[in-house]
Amino acid sequence: MISPGVLNDSKRKAVKLARAVNLLGNFNSRVIYPNTMPGDLRPLSYEDAWRKCKENSWYDIELDDSSLLIFKQDGYSYIRVPFFSLSFSEFAEEYFESEPEWKEEENKHILAEEYEKYLSSQLKPQHHMPVRFDIDPTYYCEHTHPLYHFHFGIENESRIPSNRELTPLSFTGFILRTFYPKEWYEFSQSPEMAKYLKQLKGSLNVVPKSYWKAYEADLFYLG
């Protein structure tokens, strides 16, 4: 399992990547996830769970569209914003185009308050598409519960195996490339892309042999 030091270092790099792709909305450098968090969220609807995480600052990165990235010791989550809306940048450009001073750092909190009101008014839902990457040695089963695996969506039993242990940085890269193709394409055309390529996959730990049977190489997996 990834060490706390490596985890925190990768979190910082993930923030830099989100900023480089022009998708960073906000971040928490000292986030504390309570032990009660899973139980607090489990009975809630998807939208209410997203709101609770946002209101309690239970996230490491808030993207420009208010989707959340959560990095914990035993796995990482992407909680996609549950309704169609303008991103923070799009909202600012559309409603405050004539007031360029919003771009100044000391004024952004005022605009952020207006954006929160705007989000609260959005009622058109979009498909729920959370993504979770789990590191789970406790319930490992070679046939049904891989050590490293992805969950896509909610209320299903799917576990998509991975033969590599992701980091917050690599998970962030996967999410941004998958769900934000326009921004990722623009990023891919910049010199910044080369700074991250080797870190996104090449440095990842391969699953230990005791958790990866020989026949699994003949089955489909992510890696």
pLDDT at residue 101, as a whole number: 58
Q: Quick check: 33 and 78 in contact, CB under 8 A?
A: no
Per the structure, the count of domains in the chain is: 1
What span, in angstroms and rounded, lies between the C-alpha atoms of 8 and 11?
5
Residue 108 counted as domain residue: no
Domain hosting residue 208, numbered range: 4-85+122-218
Residue 100 counted as domain residue: no
Residue 107 counted as domain residue: no
Instruction: Encode pLDDT of 6-15 as tens digits.
Output: 999 999 999 9
Other Cβ atoms within 10 Å of 120 Cβ, number: 9
Residue 99 counted as domain residue: no
Residue 103 counted as domain residue: no
Residue 97 counted as domain residue: no
Sign of the four-CA dihedral 43, 46, 51, 52: positive
Residue 93 counted as domain residue: no
Residues of the chain short of pLDDT 50, as ranges, are none
Residue 52 counted as domain residue: yes
Query: DSSP secondary structure string, 138-178?
Result: TT-BTTTB-SEEEEESSS----EEBSEE--HHHHHHHHHHH
